[in-house]
């Protein structure tokens, strides 16, 4: 039989100590809990593991997408407003520049106020972005995009007006310079006319159809003949340089030139050139098919072309009907053997025949100037036709004298006498005509002839 062990009575002191210790621990925990204070807004608590938005998005993905969409819309609106404001500043600045010349104070003040207003608008956009208030203050992107396009259109319109104004100013400058050039050219021709009578048409600068008279035609004829002589001198110089026998060449044109005095062979060459250049002069179209339209012109139309071309540069006219006329006359007057002898090739002839352009040589430039003077003389000649018909007069004509004809001071002028005179002894006769004569209205302009001492028919 087991003995019964009686439990010892509890130690009250030990229990008291345990209770005291538990109270102290509880007091300590209560103090820690009291010291831990939660923020009224959990989003402001710095040590949180996640915020309410992340928690919502974790449990509700649609809320996250909606928030991102709102942020994107706000940013799009910000950019649209920014570009619209910049475009408005550009338009206002363009208006400010345009108003400077001519000076417009009202427009300047208006443009300046618009620039200041847009700068304030940009400042407000900056503040909205910093304060995260974009959605509350900005208009819709569509509205500001329309505004931006209007500002761009306004800028283009102002720029267009400015360019048009600049163009008008440039045109005015060009017209002023053209007037100055014309005035200078007129003065130059006037001086040239005083220094070298007959070399220019300065005396015909202010000519009108109503005041046209045969003296004007005589001035233009002398002007043309000066160019014929200049070209003949250049031609004979090329002949001498290439070993031509000038006397034989002159005799081949006119046999009477073989008996002429030294230096008189030039008249034979002048006669040859005039014969080619004045061929079919009495016809409005020079008997050339490409000038057929001119056969329908009246005197006023011919006079207008004379006025337009009497001071023009032949090279500038080469793409017109004159260029074709010049080419035709060159191919008729300058034989291929002559050109080959002078230049060693036929390049100028080939260039003209193909219609590819204007030969760049002093030789052809001299020829083209001669052709231009004959062309404007032809225009002036038919300008008299209308004037004569209005007055009941006859149409003008051109004539030359046959070889062996008796010399007449009424219709002829001796070139030999011009060159120093010649004693023919008996009745002088015509060896050949150098420059044809003209009848303009009732006025006869003598032809220039080279005389022979042999007697002949009248």
Residues 251-258: what's their mean pLDDT? 87
Overall domain count for the chain: 2
Is residue 239 located within the same domain as residue 334? yes
Beta bridge pairs of residue 405: 457
Residue 48's pLDDT is 42
Of 129-133, 156-160, 227-231, 236-240, the poorest mean pLDDT is in 129-133
Residues 384-389: what's their mean pLDDT? 61
Instruction: Give a yes or no: residue 53 inside a domain.
Output: no
Is residue 249 located within the same domain as residue 130? no
Does the N-terminal peptide bond of residue 102 adopt cis geometry, omega within 30 degrees of 0?
Answer: yes
Residue 230's pLDDT is 94
pLDDT at 62 over 70: no
- Give the C-alpha separation, 150 to 220, whole Å: 64
Q: Where is 21: in which H helix or E strand? A: helix 12-35
Give the pLDDT band of residue 395 (cuts 50, 70, 90).
low
Of 427 and 308, the one with more pLDDT: 308
pLDDT at 3 over 70: no
Residues 401-407: what's their mean pLDDT? 91
338 touches 282 (CB < 8 A): no
pLDDT at 356 over 90: no
Residue 129's pLDDT is 74
- Give the C-alpha separation, 65 to 67, whole Å: 5
Of 65-74, 79-88, 120-129, 284-293, the poorest mean pLDDT is in 65-74
359 touches 352 (CB < 8 A): yes
Return the sign of the alpha-carbon dihedral for residues 439, 445, 451, 456.
positive
Residue 413's pLDDT is 92
Within 196-264, residue ranges assigned H as helices are 214-241, 246-253
Instruction: Give a yes or no: residue 89 inside a domain.
Output: yes
Is residue 318 located within the same domain as residue 240? yes
Instruction: Give a yes or no: residue 320 inside a domain.
Output: yes
pLDDT at 374 over 60: yes
pLDDT at 176 over 80: yes
End-to-end CA gap in the chain: 202
Residue 325's pLDDT is 96
Residue 65's pLDDT is 67
Beta bridge pairs of residue 439: 397, 444
397 touches 282 (CB < 8 A): yes
Pairing state between β 447-452 and 412-414: parallel
> Phi and psi at residue 53, in whole multiples of 5°?
-65, -40
Instruction: Give a yes or no: residue 359 inside a domain.
Output: yes
pLDDT at 28 over 80: no
Domain boundary among 349, 376, 392: 392
Instruction: Give a yes or no: residue 397 inside a domain.
Output: no
Rounded (5°) CA angle 90-91-96:
95
Is residue 320 located within the same domain as residue 238? yes
312-351 burial, b at 16+ Cβ within 10 Å, e below that, comes to: eebbebbeebbbbbbbbbbeebbeeebbeebbeeeebbeb
Of 32 and 14, the one with more pLDDT: 14
pLDDT at 63 over 80: no
Residue 86's pLDDT is 82
- What percentage of the chain has pLDDT greater than the value 90? 36
Residue 391's pLDDT is 42
Would you tell me how many other CB atoms lie within 10 Å of the CB of residue 247? 15
Domain boundary among 339, 361, 392: 392
Is residue 386 located within the same domain as residue 258? yes
Residue bearing tokens 């209005």 = 390
Residue 425 zone, left/alpha/beta (φ > 0; ψ -120 to 50; rest): left
Query: What's the gap between Cα 328 and its chain centre?
Result: 31
Q: Where is 53: in which H helix or E strand? A: helix 52-59
DSSP character for 289? G
Is residue 253 located within the same domain as residue 343? yes
DSSP character for 209? G
- Give the C-alpha separation, 34 to 7, whole Å: 44
In which domain, by residue range, is 295 found?
203-392
Is residue 164 located within the same domain as residue 294? no
Long-range contacts of 23-31 (CB under 8 A, 24+ apart): none
E strands, 146-196, are: none
Please enumerate in sequence order all residues whose Cβ is within 8 A of that of 383, keeping only pairs 6 or more positions apart, or say none.
Answer: 209, 212, 299, 300, 302, 303, 306
- Give the C-alpha separation, 172 to 232, whole Å: 44
Is residue 244 located within the same domain as residue 350? yes
Is residue 289 located within the same domain as residue 385? yes
Give the pLDDT band of residue 420 (cuts 50, 70, 90).
very low
pLDDT at 393 over 60: no
pLDDT at 424 over 70: no
Residue 239's pLDDT is 95
Q: Where is 100: in which H helix or E strand? A: none
Of 100-114, 135-149, 212-226, 336-350, the poorest mean pLDDT is in 135-149
Residue bearing tokens 């159809």 = 209
310 touches 376 (CB < 8 A): yes
Instruction: Give a yes or no: residue 17 inside a domain.
Output: no
CA-closest candidate to residue 360, choices 3, 127, 351 = 351
What is this structure's pTM? 0.58
Residue bearing tokens 């001519």 = 102
Would you tell me how many other CB atoms lie within 10 Å of the CB of residue 7? 5
- Give the C-alpha separation, 321 to 325, whole Å: 6
Of 260-264, 333-337, 416-420, the poorest mean pLDDT is in 416-420
Average pLDDT, the chain: 78
> Phi and psi at residue 38, in whole multiples of 5°?
-85, 140
> Over the stretch 437-458, which tens digit does the pLDDT of each residue have?
999 988 999 999 999 855 444 3
Beta bridge pairs of residue 406: 429
Question: What is the Cβ-side half-sphere exposure of residue 259, based on CA atoms within 13 angstroms?
Answer: 9
- What percentage of the chain has pLDDT greater than the value 70? 73
Is residue 233 located within the same domain as residue 279? yes
pLDDT at 199 over 70: no
DSSP character for 40? S
Give the pLDDT band of residue 60 (cuts 50, 70, 90).
low
Give the pLDDT band of residue 26 (cuts 50, 70, 90).
low
Instruction: Give a yes or no: residue 290 inside a domain.
Output: yes
Is residue 98 located within the same domain as residue 224? no
Residue 13's pLDDT is 55
Instruction: Give a yes or no: residue 367 inside a domain.
Output: yes
Is residue 91 located within the same domain as residue 239? no
Residue 90's pLDDT is 80
- Give the C-alpha separation, 106 to 48, whole Å: 62
> Over the stretch 95-151, which tens digit does the pLDDT of each residue have?
777 777 777 787 787 777 887 887 887 787 777 777 766 555 556 666 777 777 787
């Amino acid at each position: 039989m087991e003995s019964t062990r009686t439990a010892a009575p509890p130690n009250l002191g030990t229990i008291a100590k345990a209770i005291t210790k538990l109270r102290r621990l509880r007091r300590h925990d209560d103090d820690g809990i009291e010291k831990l204070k939660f923020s009224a807004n959990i989003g402001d608590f710095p040590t949180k593991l996640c915020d309410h938005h992340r928690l919502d998005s974790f449990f509700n993905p649609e809320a996250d997408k909606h928030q991102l969409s709102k942020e994107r819309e706000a940013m799009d609106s910000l950019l649209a407003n920014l570009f619209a404001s910049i475009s408005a500043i550009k338009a206002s600045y363009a208006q400010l520049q345009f108003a400077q010349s001519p000076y417009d104070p009202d427009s300047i003040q208006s443009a300046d106020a618009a620039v200041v207003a847009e700068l304030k608008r940009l400042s407000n956009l900056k503040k909205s972005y910093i304060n995260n208030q974009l959605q509350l203050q900005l208009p819709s992107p569509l509205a500001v995009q329309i505004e931006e396009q209007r500002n761009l259109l306004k800028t283009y319109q102002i720029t267009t007006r400015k360019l048009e104004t600049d163009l008008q100013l440039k045109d005015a400058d060009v017209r002023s310079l053209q007037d100055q050039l014309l005035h200078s050219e007129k003065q130059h021709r006037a001086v040239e006319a005083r220094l070298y009578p007959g070399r220019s048409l300065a005396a015909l600068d202010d000519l009108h159809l109503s005041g046209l008279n045969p003296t004007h035609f005589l001035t233009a004829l002398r002007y043309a003949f000066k160019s014929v002589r200049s070209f003949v001198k250049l031609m004979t110089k090329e002949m001498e340089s290439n070993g031509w026998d000038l006397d034989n060449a002159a005799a081949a044109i006119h046999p009477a030139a073989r008996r002429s005095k030294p230096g008189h062979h030039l008249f034979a060459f002048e006669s040859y050139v005039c014969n080619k250049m004045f061929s079919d002069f009495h016809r409005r179209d020079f008997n050339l098919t490409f000038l057929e339209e001119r056969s329908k012109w009246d005197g006023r139309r011919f006079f207008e072309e004379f006025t337009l071309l009497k001071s023009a540069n032949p090279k500038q006219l080469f793409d017109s009907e004159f260029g074709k006329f010049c080419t035709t006359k060159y191919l008729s007057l300058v034989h291929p053997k002559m050109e080959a002898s002078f230049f060693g090739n036929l390049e100028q002839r080939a260039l003209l025949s193909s219609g590819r352009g204007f030969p760049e040589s002093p030789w052809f430039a001299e020829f083209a100037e001669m052709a231009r003077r004959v062309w404007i003389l032809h225009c002036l000649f038919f300008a008299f036709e209308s004037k004569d018909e209005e007055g009941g007069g006859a149409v003008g004509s051109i004539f030359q004298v046959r070889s062996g004809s008796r010399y007449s001071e009424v219709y002829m002028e001796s070139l030999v006498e011009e060159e120093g005179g010649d004693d023919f002894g008996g009745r002088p006769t015509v060896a050949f005509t150098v420059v044809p004569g003209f009848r303009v209205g009732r006025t006869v302009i003598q032809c220039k002839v080279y005389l022979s001492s042999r007697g002949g028919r009248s």
